[in-house]
Amino acid sequence: MKNLLNATLVAVALMMFAVLCAAQQKAANSGLESLLIANEKRVLWDAVVKKEIKVLEDYLADDYLDVSDVGVFDKSATLKLIPDLDVSSYSLSEFKLIRLNKDAAIVTYKAEQHWTIKGKDEPSNVRASSTWVRRGGRWRVVFHQESTLK
């Protein structure tokens, strides 16, 4: 009887430990989700709209790649486009985070944007995703992709 009681107590303790670990992981993911969504808004949207090249240089990884209907651009080409890009309005919604590991995550969302490049009107409604990696203790974007919604 005593062995059964001890085994039951151990099983209950293990289940409680598993629940606590899951709760801690959920809280950590929630914090990361908030951080990366805020970075997405600040770095890939506000900085582009405000043409803050220094912010973009700091947050886009050296091996950054952007893929969209207008082409494929590395970090240098992306930064060169910013002065010719004018965003008149945009809205972001339906954010989701996919955690790949402790140092990598993908942020997905919907974006409605109205913009011109070199005076050519390019309004679009897209599904977007950005891959963020932690390097040197800082989160940086290594990949951004947009697919036009019809």
What CATH number was assigned to the domain covering residues 2-148? 3.10.450.50
Six token digits for residue 15: 């289940």
pTM here is 0.77
- Residue 36, classed as helix, strand or coil, is helix
Q: What is the dihedral of CA 8, 12, 15, 19, to 10 degrees?
A: 170
Residues of the chain with pLDDT under 70: 1-30, 123
Picking from 81, 84, 91, the residue whose alpha carbon sits closest to that of residue 123 is 91
Tens digit of pLDDT for each residue in 60-99? Answer: 999 999 998 888 999 999 999 999 989 989 999 999 999 9
Q: Which residue has the tokens 């805020």?
A: 38
Residue 56 pLDDT: 95
- What is the total residue count of the chain? 150
Provide the residue ranges of all domains of the chain, joining segments of one domain with +.
2-148
Q: Pairing state of beta strands 104-117 and 85-101? A: antiparallel
